[in-house]
Amino acid sequence: MSVLFGNNKIRFLDTTLRDGEQTPGVSLTPEQKLKIAEELSLIGVDVIEAGSAIASDGEREALRLISDAGFKAEICTYSRAKKEDIDLAVKCGADSVHLVVPVSDLHITKKLGKNRDEVYKMAMDAVSYAKERGLIVELSGEDASRADQTFLSELFRDGVSAGADRLCFCDTVGLLTPERVSEMIPPLVLAPLSIHCHNDLGLALSNTISALKAGASCAHTTINGMGERAGNTPFEEVVMVLEKLYNYDTGIDKKRIYSLSTLVSQLTKVPLATNKPIVGSMAFTHESGIHAHGLLRDASTYEPMSPETVGRKRRIVLGKHSGTASVQSALNELGYSPNDKQLAEIVARVKQVGDKGRKVTDADVMAIADSVMLLECKPVISLRQFTVVSGSNAIPTASATMVVNGQKVTGAATGTGPVDATINVLSQSVAMLGDIKLEEYHVDAITGGADAMVDVTVKLRKDGRVITSRGARTDIVEASVEAVLAGMNRLLRNENENRG
């Protein structure tokens, strides 16, 4: 254990299912909440704040499902200082309540229309009542960073006397600095103390780490930093900062971090920023020739940690910054063995594609290599025609006629939209040659206006082999067809063919 944290065992209360779900536009079903809670427990989170029992019937159903699931993690629910909230927490089977009381004069007067004495009495009564009902109590000061610290200290001290098991300092609108944290936290460690930060000014992570160093023993976090406005402290970043920079063993199963992150992103429909630390798509992706060359010799040259540590893989993409080493590495993975002269020409052509502002996909590299090395690539599949029907009163349906290994195949499929229906019929038509799965789909507009060119990039997988491909047309469906067909043809080529 790092000496910086004394004898404290740092714990994690994850509030993805409560504060994280308050992200505008996010609404999870009870079943989705249960799935996320299961993964939170498996990764090693100590407490799961599974929602707010007072909020809705759906919230109560989710809390009951999660409470009855037998997870190792403690199950908590958000609660106001009101008996009805506490009664519902008990009824839903929660282990604990995150009992939140406004403590700044701004919140006390403007939000509640009360005074300090009234809020103090509400807090003491609620703590006592929750303990009588058999709940673990974490007494939380809302807007603590703007509160009178003498009042906050008295409320915390007497709350512990009334039976509160834990305390929590909430920086509700992200106004703390690490310097203020180091001054404000130590006098409040009257019981195990949590820190709950919001990221309005980008300091949630720094403030959380500062609080843990100053005596707090629990970090409130959300997966991917989800939450209202600019979000909360990101779980994955706190874990890896503690592990990597402070040499502190969190006890978290770090290899589950990326899969949990992507699960939450998929279920909440909140995409990850490409440059997000740890879990963003670019976190372990490299293009620069100098960087890629160094990585191929020693990964630590341009990576602070191994991507495998958090359940990821390194990715080297090609573009105008790519050097010979990275292009050769990509060619080797794709099964090509060019001589030095051929390699130099392939590198030059890759850079030309990148100079045009285009993504350089695996299919692009293979097409360039085939041309330079005078290899003949006979298509395994070709498209004769396709038709898509979609509209306000019609289920999106696509039909296609293809030639697959010389055999004519006609089929039809439906989907959630015209692109989805088209990709479904293409996959269905080549099923005889193996199961090809679409793993990623990305579209960019190349030019503006109603006749904009769209650039579609796809990632396809077959039998553990992954390939990226692209298509560019003014019609998004046609661009998608071009990208998927190019990728399928490359995946279905004979893996034993000679590309030397």
Q: Which domains does the chain have, with CATH numbers?
A: 3-268 (3.20.20.70), 285-372 (1.10.238), 381-492 (3.30.160.270)
CA–CA separation, 377 and 220 (whole Å): 55
CA–CA separation, 140 and 136 (whole Å): 13
Give me the sign of the Cα torsion angle 262, 265, 271, 276.
negative
CA–CA separation, 139 and 408 (whole Å): 69
What are residue 471's DSSP bridge partners? 456
pLDDT of residue 448: 54
Q: Where are the beta strands (DSSP E) in 284-340?
A: 285-286, 315-316
CA–CA separation, 475 and 452 (whole Å): 8
In a 13 Å sphere around the CA of 204, the CA atoms on its Cβ side amount to: 29
What are residue 221's DSSP bridge partners? 14
Locate 121 and state its tokens.
């009495």
Return the residue matching tokens 């039998």.
463
pLDDT of residue 451: 55
Neighbours of 190 (CB within 10 A): 15
166-171 and 437-445 beta bridge pairing: unpaired
Degrees, nearest 5: CA angle 102-106-111: 60
Locate 487 and state its tokens.
């990728």
pLDDT of residue 71: 97
CA–CA separation, 437 and 457 (whole Å): 14
Digitized pLDDT (tens) for each residue of the chain, 500 residues in all = 556 776 679 999 999 999 999 999 999 999 999 999 999 999 999 999 999 999 999 999 999 999 999 999 999 999 999 999 999 999 999 999 999 999 999 999 999 999 999 999 999 999 999 999 999 999 999 999 999 999 999 999 999 999 999 999 999 999 999 999 999 999 999 999 999 999 999 999 999 999 999 999 999 999 999 999 999 999 999 999 999 999 999 999 999 999 999 999 999 999 998 899 999 877 877 665 555 556 556 667 767 888 889 998 777 777 888 888 888 888 887 888 999 999 998 889 888 888 877 778 877 888 788 878 866 667 889 899 999 998 777 899 999 999 988 889 999 999 999 999 999 999 998 888 888 989 888 887 655 555 567 778 888 988 878 888 888 778 889 889 988 998 898 888 755 465 66
CA–CA separation, 180 and 108 (whole Å): 22
Q: Say which DSSP state 150 is in.
A: H
pLDDT of residue 295: 58
Neighbours of 457 (CB within 10 A): 21
pLDDT of residue 352: 86
Degrees, nearest 5: CA angle 173-176-178: 145
166-171 and 136-142 beta bridge pairing: parallel
Is the backbone of residue 332 left (phi > 0), alpha (psi -120 to 50) or beta? alpha
- For 363, residues 6+ apart whose C-beta sits below 8 A from its C-beta are 467, 468, 469, 470, 486, 487, 490
